[in-house]
Amino acid sequence: MPFIDANDIRLFHRFDGPERAPVLALSNSLGTDHALWEPQMAAFSKRFRVLRYDTRGHGRSGVPTQPATLEQLGRDFLGLLDGLGLQRVHFCGLSLGGMTGMWLGCNAPARIERLVLCNTSTQMGPPEPWNTRIEAVRASGMAAVTEGVIGRWFTSGFRGRAPEAVERVRRMLLETPKDGYAACCAAIRDMDQREAIAAIRSPTLVIAGSQDPATPPDHARFIAARIAGASLVELDAAHLSNVEAAEKFTQAVLGFLEGRAEGELG
């Protein structure tokens, strides 16, 4: 069955790749689902047993009735691992998924082998913009925020040359349950991991988009500086760098997970 009851919520998940390969877990951004990672799946699933799941309130996972917390999202993932009988995995998360990854690196280090933190941040500024977004979505649905989000997620050049890829993401946003989106907005609003991430000891790769207005490159540089031994890769992309710079993103993650030096990433 593709569902696990974990930490008071039902989580959708799926596996791809060889059954005996090391497990690589992928965690989606706010407003997307496990399909966010399609640009990476052909390459990732050749070398890893890839575990994708829908964050609570997204995709086919259960929708919470109360605001979420980052700890809750982290414990959701740990419950998923427990339900699947997995002790230790590689973890790659983008945006909200990266925030979850930082929590896991701090609070469940024994469960995380290597950690990839993409287009993410330890703290997202004052609460007022998040409260405004929550109110807009609850009142008018996802259409109230989708076009503004798309404008931050992709550069204008990419929107012009890859309209089909942008449209797939737009559909994910529009199909996200508004209550799930609002719940996870609250988790981001209330998060502050600026001090905590210094405790992360898993080998860590931080990926930034040089044109990302949502989590700018200086956020990634801060994370890389705070985590001992972390590597930093900056890609020519906006927020969804795994879509906009798919090939270079995939090469960077695979090179890191397989222990290749930056100069060997191709």
Structure tokens at 60: 């086919």
197 near 226, Cβ under 8 Å?
yes
Dihedral pair phi/psi, residue 89, rounded to 5°: -140, 160
- 66-87: b or e for each residue (b if 16 or more CB lie within 10 Å)? eebbbebbbbbbbbbbeebeee
93 near 118, Cβ under 8 Å?
yes
Angstrom distances, CA of residue 117 to CA of 92, 128, 153, 206:
6, 26, 16, 5
The number of angstroms, rounded, from the C-alpha of 227 to the middle of its chain's C-alpha atoms is 18
259 pLDDT band, cuts 50/70/90, is confident
The answer, yes or no, to whether residue 124 has pLDDT greater than 80, is yes
Q: What is the CATH number of domain 3-264?
A: 3.40.50.1820
Structure tokens at 178: 């508004």
Task: Quote the pTM value.
Answer: 0.96
Q: What is the pLDDT of residue 262?
A: 46
